[in-house]
Structure 1
């Protein structure tokens, strides 16, 4: 089983083959928008971590390319080793345009843009170094005339640097404009969509510099930037640079023209997607053991029910899957995993410590863990009754060695309900008793100490 989620592949020849979150409609709508909207434009696709932004962006990029719109995709996070985001932009553009430019005019325009961009980069670093050095010098220890000479030299460099950079920026922007518009002996590229992924994962200074480069250097007719980001996370990056009291939201609005909130997927679909792409389905199927395969289906149902009942964020769901993966990987296949009660205890440990501690202590203290089953896994959803029955029976099985008298009283109450309760309660009680008896078998017994040790082991990991 993979500990890290494998990225979803997007095949340009079959764009929606792996569209497990059913985002085709949204991709198609944005494709039409980006094909017709007036440029320049900066569009942000905003969604929390783990919501499938990268897959969405890759499908949108592939769909635009299929419509003959020029489109470049690159990951900001994979390029934040660069000294300046402009360097990464020039590199990615060069790789794309090398196969796209066929006429001499367009090639000359791009070479001129690259040259101007390179000179801008060359001028940025030396001036920054000189200014930084001046800040490190103890001027009190210098002679007055030496300090005056240094200040004059720095001032001259900064003024000259500003003038030269302004000229170079004008040349750069004009060359890009010609590349897009075309003239003389060739046709331009027309509009160019540049997809920037994972901006919120970059180091804060790089993310901010990239936004500033897009706004000040690349605000050119014909250029469209599509940024995939978690706005809340990016706001934290802005505050990390400018201070906790800085208006990060207002700052980001200066760079982004339109925000598009990526709709959250149906939670059943999202859980099913994570179950498959994280290797759970393959793992339970590969064991060949019927009990473990049944555990896999049970875990999927329980996770879907928990996500809907507690309205878990996509991030919380993915973190729960990661915790379960750690436990499954560290559990020998010769041992029963008992996914329903394991998931329940992981949840209780984080959100209702009193109920979790009661389960650990056992006996009458474990009653709260039974009482909360229907609250944690709400009724009314498909499979909810099945999940309730499984967890109830597994709690009784786990406690049977710790406090057999308490469990005997619980079973007696269930038998009374089975004979005297409503039809619904009769069926429920009968199923819990049946499942409890099954779990009292040698192989299927829920052993409380190994179960608790596995759940407690998670405290040693930061997810």
Structure 2
């Protein structure tokens, strides 16, 4: 069957409307590659692609949207969130249940549904053996029983072998006899399980043959397994092993969303600290695709879009950015300027956002000074000791700037004489250090002291501090001793910085 290219996009529905990180291009490329691979190698016994990405790189969105688009293009496609099913003791049962549910709905009007039902029924004897090979080794060590004796136990032969003096007891003989019976039952179960695997794969092949005869669907069948690295390591490994053994059938393609570094590290909890988890995981995958790092500005925009920060319309954000110079200005643009000034990458951006989000959410005042808050948050993330030393006046802003701030990153603005049009007025610029310095000079002062410092017209960035003078006090409060709202920002950052 000839596969339609993903370039033939649909017109009725766009699954990529919320694609903040440009992941549609990745999905299009991988779709074309995998479909072409199947055309060239239709007899390949299944294919497993690891989609490797760090958290926050848009992996889950990509896989969900990609699966929906494939379904729209008439490819059978199933999306399975392993993390949401991590509570079940049998990962394969949860996966197969999800597969059954989604494909049954897709196949409800075609004969291929019968092949799907037959495949599911063939797994009736697919049970986990009561005792695994590792338990045999433990049994040998516990009773000093040789593997020949174990084999005899399984076959029902005599258990009258030599014990050490400490083992001469009828209780232990009886226990060994019962263990032998259990081992025999377990091996019988294991045999049934192996037979069920063969039967299931045969039925899956019949399902693929039935789909080839259907004009309604295209091949291959796609299974997307996501969030595997967030699961318990034994759960993740069992699911991968099951996929490898059960689904190695022509026409079945898996895309496994995973952070191989993270899951590789967690497997050490099972196999020991010296275990090479990444190399071990590679045995489950035919290929590994490293999801490229997203555009930094797009990534920052996604951080804010997915945050719980109050809507812009609810607050007045004193960023100092003008629409003329910064089209689409706002918190993401300001955040990106600070990120560049502090020289931090995407992973560190996430950590800073974990500080900023609860801090901004906790501010009840209508007017917010994100320049000061962002400076404090970025410095706290980079060096909490210097953060405290700066606020305690043990060091000054120049020390911080020399260590962490790229002073070539400047915020451009138009002078007060400008009419703030795109083409009019003179341009000037200011660095992050200078903006932070004026806040640090004033944030601890009383409102009366701040108001006294700005009696007339001032120029940006001092306009940011001048706005503090507009804060209203309750009738019973005294401006000579009352502090402004920005006085609370360092404490907010300290508290928010405790979120892991």
Q: If the length of structure 1 is used for normalisation, what is the TM-score?
A: 0.79
Q: Choose which of 438, 447, 451 in structure 2 pairs with 1:393.
A: 438
Deviation at 1:303, TM superposition (A): 1.5
Q: Choose which of 54, 68, 85 in structure 2 pairs with 1:48.
A: 54
Match of 2:29 in 1: 29
SS at match of 1:98: helix
Taking the aligned partners of 1:197 and 1:71, their CA distance within structure 2 comes to 13
Deviation at 1:304, TM superposition (A): 0.5
Is contact 1:42–1:258 with CA below 8 Å preserved after alignment? yes
1:251-262 superposed matches below 5 A: 251-262=280-291
Taking the aligned partners of 2:26 and 2:407, their CA distance within structure 1 comes to 31
Runs of 5+ unmatched residues, structure 2: 1-10, 39-43, 144-166, 323-327, 413-428, 473-482
Match of 1:320 in 2: 352
Match of 1:234 in 2: 263
Deviation at 1:41, TM superposition (A): 0.7
Is contact 2:355–2:493 with CA below 8 Å preserved after alignment? no
SS at match of 1:224: strand
- 1:462 equivalenced with 2:499 (yes/no): yes
Task: Considering fraction of residues, name the structure with more helix.
Answer: 1
Match of 1:302 in 2: 334
Q: Choose which of 188, 199, 204 in structure 2 pairs with 1:171.
A: 199
Larger radius of gyration: 2
Distance 1:222 1:356, change over 3 A: same
Q: If the length of structure 2 is used for normalisation, what is the TM-score?
A: 0.73
Q: Choose which of 388, 391, 395 in structure 2 pairs with 1:360.
A: 391
Deviation at 1:52, TM superposition (A): 1.1
Is contact 1:31–1:63 with CA below 8 Å preserved after alignment? no
Match of 1:94 in 2: 100
Match of 2:419 in 1: none
Taking the aligned partners of 1:222 and 1:345, their CA distance within structure 2 comes to 54
1:45-84 superposed matches below 5 A: 45-84=51-90
Deviation at 1:447, TM superposition (A): 6.2
Taking the aligned partners of 1:145 and 1:341, their CA distance within structure 2 comes to 76
Match of 1:452 in 2: 490
Distance 1:298 1:70, change over 3 A: closer
Is contact 2:212–2:219 with CA below 8 Å preserved after alignment? no
Distance 1:300 1:90, change over 3 A: closer
1:129-150, Cα deviation, whole Å (9 max, x unpaired): xx69x97xx9757524413421
Question: Which sits farther off after the overlay, 80-89 or 444-453?
Answer: 444-453
SS at match of 1:441: helix
SS at match of 1:120: coil
1:80-229 superposed matches below 5 A: 80-101=86-107, 106-121=112-127, 124=128, 126=130, 143-182=171-210, 190-229=219-258
Runs of 5+ unmatched residues, structure 1: 1-10, 412-428
1:237-284, Cα deviation, whole Å (9 max, x unpaired): 21121111111111011001111111111111111222233244x523
Aligned residues: 419
1:274-423 superposed matches below 5 A: 274-280=303-309, 283-287=311-315, 289=316, 291=318, 299-334=331-366, 336-362=367-393, 365-368=395-398, 371-372=401-402, 375-380=404-409, 385=430, 387-398=432-443
- 1:250 equivalenced with 2:279 (yes/no): yes
Deviation at 1:353, TM superposition (A): 4.0
In angstroms, what is the RMSD of aligned CA positions? 3.7
SS at match of 2:288: strand
Is contact 1:197–1:228 with CA below 8 Å preserved after alignment? yes
Taking the aligned partners of 1:155 and 1:96, their CA distance within structure 2 comes to 38
Is contact 2:119–2:204 with CA below 8 Å preserved after alignment? yes
Distance 1:275 1:377, change over 3 A: farther
Taking the aligned partners of 2:314 and 2:460, their CA distance within structure 1 comes to 29
Deviation at 1:360, TM superposition (A): 1.7
Distance 1:84 1:293, change over 3 A: farther
Taking the aligned partners of 2:49 and 2:378, their CA distance within structure 1 comes to 37
Is contact 2:211–2:218 with CA below 8 Å preserved after alignment? no
Taking the aligned partners of 1:74 and 1:307, their CA distance within structure 2 comes to 35
